[in-house]
Amino acid sequence: MLEASLSGVLKTVLIVLLVYFGLKILIRWFGPILLRYFMRKMGKKFEKQFGQQFGGFQEPQKKKEGKVSIDKKPGKGRKSDKTVGEYIDYEEID
């Protein structure tokens, strides 16, 4: 039967603690850098997917200084007709 020695158990515990704290420190230093990298990567992926789906975002063209352009408002789609029907007056019956 195998018996664990005190020095073997202490070495194992120390190694586990060193690995734990070492990873904790590395994640604290390099975590924000990795997160920023993956966020940029995902942003580019979403931008590409949006461009494929909706035809992309086009910047408005730069207008030359001194050139005047008038954008007209679109006309109303529906105009109301005042003669829709006749009004019927009614009385309440108790």
Q: What are the domain boundaries of the chain?
A: 7-54
Q: What does the pLDDT look like over 38-68, one tens digit per residue? A: 999 999 999 888 888 877 555 556 667 888 8
CA distance 7 to 12: 9
pTM over 0.85: no
Contact 55, 47 (CB under 8 A): no
Contact 57, 51 (CB under 8 A): yes
10 or 70, higher pLDDT: 10
